Amino acid sequence: MNSFIKEFKEKDSELRKRINLIKYCIFLFLIVITIKVFSLQLIYNEEPLKFSKIQTNPFQLLGNRGEIRDANGKILAVSVAYPSIHLNPREIKDKVYYAKILSKTLSLPREQVLKKLNKRKYFVWIKRLASHKEGDKILSLNLPGVGIKMEYKRDYPFGHLAGQVLGHTNLDQIGMEGLEYKFNNELAGSKKIITLTKDGKGKIITDNFSAIENPEDGSNVNLTIKSKYQFILEKEIARAVKKSKALRGYGIIINPNTGEIYAMGSYPFFNPNKYSEYEDLSKKRNLPAWNTFEPGSVMKSFLVASAIEEGVVNDKTIIDCEMGKRRIGKYIVHDVNKKGNLNISGVLNFSSNIGASKIIEKISNNKYYSFLKNLGFGSKTNIQLPGEAKGILINPEKWSQIQAANISFGQGMSVTSLQLAKALSIIANGGVNIEPYLIKSITNSKGEIIFEKKLNPGRRIISYTTSKKMRKLLKSVVEDGGGFKAQIEGVSVSGKTGTGQVATKGGYSKERFIVSFIGFAPSDSPQLVSVITIDYPKGERAYGGRWAAPVFKKTIEKILIDEEKVEKFVKAKDVPSFLGKAKREVIKIAKEKNLKVKIIGNGFVKKQSPKPGNIYQFQEEISLFLEPGI
């Protein structure tokens, strides 16, 4: 019995020890928990949120790209909102059904859609920059897992008009060619990087969206281009190229007194709205600034100006043109018009190569080289166009007698149409240097001017007396010489034709010619200078007087004369406001008021050009930019 009691007591004592140990463990555990809760609540109170919050990958907000406008404020390039369709493949169960519906609605191959649906991603683009009609259809289908994000696409309301000048952007609105490339930094909107925070269930828990400031829109670039002039020039060049079956044609119209470029066109045309369709990159080139060629007889204008300026020729100077054939060393210089004695006017009128070769011998090579350099040949004009060429003007120390003769009538050197326009402007404006330019001003999104072209007094290149004589001599070329097809009834014209040969290996091509006409009007008070170039017209008589001079005539005639006639029939009225109006209402107003409108986009009018209140010109097209309310 005693032994049993003793054994029981020992066991009871052992049990108590175990119970006490358990109590101590529980007490210690509670102390640890208390300390942990205390630290989390008061010391490390932000730490638990790290496990409940998820930060998205940073994404970029972009300000809208600025507009490019012509001299009268017409919008030539603008960014318009288009619906981009995206989907979440992980959310979509019936992928075959979705592939069938989406491929039909978005006009995409079913296999292509199915491939994207099978991706193990949360976000996939199915079609970027879809049409507004397609966007409306997707909205009406209300498909779970399919969404729409509005993205901006560059739109060129007038298609190919000044296409090579404007250039284009890529899908992400980054300038790739032309002014879009050159002024990409100015046109592009500002960037803002945003990181959103989501909870464990994916719900956005950012406190205040209104605190996120919108990025600033890009600046607007205002050009010297006049759309009406540009349209006329492009139309006449295209007509001449087609009629002559030429390779291409290009031209420029410039104000000789200020340097403003009113039109600069190249054919075949380039439509920046369809830039991806152009495999031939040469069609994107702005030929008046980019392409160089041997100018031919148009250079005789500058040769005679130099000789008059140097005082080595005058009205009484007689040049023996040797009946169309002159030997210089082992070479023979020929004239198409075989003449004997000619005065300076006769040398220009009959475009005598022999006469030119003898005039240049009266001027030192160094002086004529310097004269050409002062006119701008052999140097870029720095017009702020990508790809501008500087041409070739060989150092005078390397001129032999025959090389000097070649240069006198425009061979052995290369120029751009832009350089010719600048040089002729100096002759036309009284002898003062000008800087050709396209950018009139740049304004930021608030309408503040951040750049404005300032006209600086030009350096005198030739005397006013020489300029006045050259106006008269070149007027005679049009009235009595090879430029007669440039004559405009009621307007005096001065100019010079040129037919340049194309250099080949070992000589010049006997088939390919580049023909030109350089001219200005009116002769006594020049307001417009134009250079027209037709490259490789087919058939016989491929001369500047035949193909380029008529383009000058028709272009300048329509600008100076036809516009005045049209204005007599114009009934002045204000451009109404279409802002905020739906497409159907726009069409109704335009019909009632007999207005010509171009509708771009879908939904409601966000912008219009010209702006409300401006004077509506006869048959002027009002561009309306619509955006949907989604």
pLDDT over 60 at 568, yes or no: no
In this prediction the pTM is 0.80
At position 509, the amino acid (one-letter code) is: S
The DSSP bridge pattern shows strands 449-452 and 439-443 to be antiparallel
Q: How far apart are CA 532 and CA 251, in angstroms?
A: 4
Structure-block tokens of residue 456? 């600086």
* Residue 567 confidence class, pLDDT cut points 50, 70, 90: very low
* Residue 209 confidence class, pLDDT cut points 50, 70, 90: very low
Handedness of CA 220, 224, 227, 233 (dihedral sign): negative
pLDDT at 627: 73
Q: Name the helix (H) or strand (E) containing 494.
A: strand 494-504
The DSSP bridge pattern shows strands 220-223 and 573-574 to be unpaired
Q: How far apart are CA 14 and CA 401, in angstroms?
A: 128
138 phi, psi to nearest 5 deg: -65, -40
User: What average pLDDT does the chain have?
Assistant: 87
71 phi, psi to nearest 5 deg: -65, -25
Q: Name the helix (H) or strand (E) containing 180.
A: helix 178-182
Which residue has 């490789």 as its token pair?
536
pLDDT over 60 at 202, yes or no: no
Q: What is the mean pLDDT of residues 72-92?
A: 91
Handedness of CA 412, 416, 419, 424 (dihedral sign): positive
Q: Name the helix (H) or strand (E) containing 408.
A: helix 401-408
* Residue 43 confidence class, pLDDT cut points 50, 70, 90: low
How many angstroms separate the Cα of 289 from the Cα of each of 50, 104, 181, 184? 60, 46, 15, 20
Q: What is the mean pLDDT of residues 400-428?
A: 97
DSSP-assigned states of every residue in 71-115: TTS-EEEEEEEEEEEEE-GGG-S-HHHHHHHHHHHHT--HHHHHH
**Is the peptide bond preceding residue 610 cis, with omega within 30 degrees of 0?**
yes
Q: What is the mean pLDDT of residues 449-457?
A: 92
pLDDT at 21: 72
> Which of 128 and 497 is assigned the larger pLDDT?
497
Task: Determine contact, residues 508/502, Cβ cutoff 8 Å.
Answer: yes
Q: How far apart are CA 259 and CA 283, in angstroms?
A: 26
pLDDT at 123: 87
pLDDT at 386: 93
pLDDT at 38: 65
pLDDT at 601: 82
Give SS3 for 52: helix
> Which of 314 and 542 is assigned the larger pLDDT?
314
pLDDT at 55: 52
pLDDT at 19: 74
* Residue 185 confidence class, pLDDT cut points 50, 70, 90: very high
Give SS3 for 262: strand
* Residue 554 confidence class, pLDDT cut points 50, 70, 90: very high
pLDDT at 45: 56
pLDDT over 50 at 397, yes or no: yes
Contacts of 271 (CB under 8 A, 6+ apart): 156, 159, 160, 163
Question: CA nearest 87: which of 53, 113, 68, 55?
Answer: 113
* Residue 186 confidence class, pLDDT cut points 50, 70, 90: very high
Structure-block tokens of residue 462? 């030739």
